[in-house]
């Protein structure tokens, strides 16, 4: 009796790697596969269609509008603040006036310069790399690279494509319409410096305008307080509000500008302080906002700790010892963040 052996014949799926151009044989069908030679990741999943011309123009107009609004607000705060506070401060002494002028000039310079650097400096374009041909693509030279269909070029593992800037950005955190630019590896440090400068400047404006308004604001006209205990708190509150309202209505233009600057800068200061805390928290965790929301699946995050903040601000090695961080942590951190 003859034995019959039945063997299953597996069908190989032939795919082509975009990185080195080699043809690969896959045992099973997969829309995502990695080349064993160059390390490039190929995906056949359909990506989102490119934005229309009208949508791109709208995003560009939105960014330009926000930049103009921000520049006008900073100019108004600097100019109106100096005009409203100058007479009161210099009436105290010339030393106080000169000190206030120096602080104002330093804060204005740091705020505007950090804004220009974060807005007009490149956010971090990927370094061009050879791809597409086996003889010129070496072993593992495209490790974990993907292909950006929008830019039609390789995308590094720590990069993300920005629809507004229409380019891939290294370590992209987010696209900020107020600076009209992405926040990435090239300008992230300047963006945080801008936030720090805005927080300090707005706090200083609130302090100086409140001090000046206290000197020029007419004292509220409060009536005699009631002697009975019943509803004393409500009557006192109503009298104080009425007195403040009458004093505000009798203010000059300079007084109204001072009050507006105080409340506007206080509101801005609270919002920017929250954004600054969020940015520093992400730096502490060794990731960006896009990594946090999970939009970039192939990005690499460092281990969280104070060493991330020290490395982010390019602090010297001896500063690591102040936080009881091992000396080799600086070199390890530098190698993990080396992207350009």
Mean pLDDT over 253-271 rounds to 87
319-322-328-332 Cα dihedral, nearest 10 degrees:
-70
Mean pLDDT over 153-163 rounds to 89
Please give the structure tokens belonging to residue 23: 């043809």
Q: Are 121 and 187 in contact (CB under 8 A)?
A: yes
pLDDT category of residue 240 using cuts at 50, 70 and 90: low
- Average pLDDT, rounded, for the chain: 80
Please give the structure tokens belonging to residue 170: 């290294």
Please give the structure tokens belonging to residue 291: 């990594």
Rg, C-alpha atoms of the chain: 30
pLDDT category of residue 280 using cuts at 50, 70 and 90: very high
Residue for token pair 């300079």: 254
List C-alpha distances in Å: 67 to 64, 143, 258.
5, 38, 24
pLDDT category of residue 49 using cuts at 50, 70 and 90: confident
Angle at 149 between CA 145 and CA 154, to 5 degrees: 25
Q: Which of 4-13, 40-49, 182-191, 246-255 shows the lowest mean pLDDT across its residues?
A: 4-13
In this predicted structure, what is the pLDDT of residue 206? 92
Residue for token pair 């045992």: 27
User: Exposed, middle or buried by CB within 10 Å (0-12, 13-18, 19+), for 8?
Assistant: exposed
Query: Which positions are annotated as active-site residues?
Result: 176
Q: Are 39 and 49 in contact (CB under 8 A)?
A: no
**Choice between 56 and 1, residue whose per-residue pLDDT is larger:** 56
In this predicted structure, what is the pLDDT of residue 336? 46
Q: Reduced to 3 states, what is the DSSP secondary structure of residue 169?
A: strand
* Angle between helices 232-249 and 253-284 in degrees, nearest 10: 110
* Angle between helices 253-284 and 188-216 in degrees, nearest 10: 150
Mean pLDDT over 252-267 rounds to 85
Rounded to two decimals, what is the model's pTM? 0.81
In this predicted structure, what is the pLDDT of residue 8? 47
pLDDT category of residue 251 using cuts at 50, 70 and 90: low
pLDDT digits (tens, 9 = 90+) for 312-340: 888 777 666 776 666 555 554 554 444 33
pLDDT digits (tens, 9 = 90+) for 176-196: 999 999 999 999 999 999 999
Closest-CA residue to 279 (of 288, 292, 269): 288
Distance from CA of residue 264 to its chain's centroid?
A: 22
Mean pLDDT over 78-88 rounds to 85
Is a pLDDT exceeding 70 seen at residue 146? yes
Mean pLDDT over 237-259 rounds to 63
Q: Are 122 and 128 in contact (CB under 8 A)?
A: no
What is the bridge-based pairing of β-strands 181-183 and 23-26?
unpaired
In this predicted structure, what is the pLDDT of residue 295? 47
């Amino acid at each position: 009796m003859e034995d019959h052996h039945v063997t299953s014949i597996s069908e190989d799926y032939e795919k082509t790697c975009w990185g080195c151009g080699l043809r690969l044989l896959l045992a099973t069908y997969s829309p995502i596969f990695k080349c064993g030679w160059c390390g490039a990741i190929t995906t056949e999943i359909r990506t989102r269609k490119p934005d229309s011309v009208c949508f791109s123009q709208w995003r560009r107009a939105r960014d330009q509008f926000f930049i103009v609004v921000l520049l006008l607000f900073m100019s108004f705060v600097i100019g109106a603040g100096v005009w409203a506070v100058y007479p009161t401060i210099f009436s105290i002494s010339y030393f106080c006036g000169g000190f206030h002028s120096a602080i104002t000039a330093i804060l204005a310079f740091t705020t505007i310069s950090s804004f220009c650097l974060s807005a007009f400096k490149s956010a971090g374009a990927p370094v061009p790399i050879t791809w597409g041909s086996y003889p010129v693509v070496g072993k593992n030279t495209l490790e974990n690279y993907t292909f950006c269909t929008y830019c039609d070029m390789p995308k590094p593992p720590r990069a993300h494509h920005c629809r507004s800037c229409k380019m891939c950005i290294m370590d992209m955190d987010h696209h900020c319409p107020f600076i009209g630019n992405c926040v990435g590896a090239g300008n992230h440090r300047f963006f945080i410096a801008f936030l720090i400068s805005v927080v300090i400047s707005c706090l200083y404006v609130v302090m100086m305008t409140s001090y000046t308004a206290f000197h020029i604001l007419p004292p509220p006209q409060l009536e005699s307080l009631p002697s009975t205990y019943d509803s004393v708190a409500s009557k006192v509150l109503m009298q104080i509000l009425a007195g403040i309202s009458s004093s505000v209505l009798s203010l000059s233009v300079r007084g109204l500008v001072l009050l507006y600057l105080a409340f506007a800068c206080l509101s801005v200061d609270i919002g920017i302080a929250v954004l600054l805390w969020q940015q520093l928290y992400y730096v502490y965790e060794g990731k960006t906002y896009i990594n946090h929301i999970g939009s970039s699946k192939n990005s690499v995050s460092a281990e969280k700790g104070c060493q991330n903040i020290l490395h982010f601000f390019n602090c010297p090695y001896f500063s690591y010892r102040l936080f009881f961080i091992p000396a080799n942590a600086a070199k390890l951190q530098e190698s993990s963040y080396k992207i350009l």
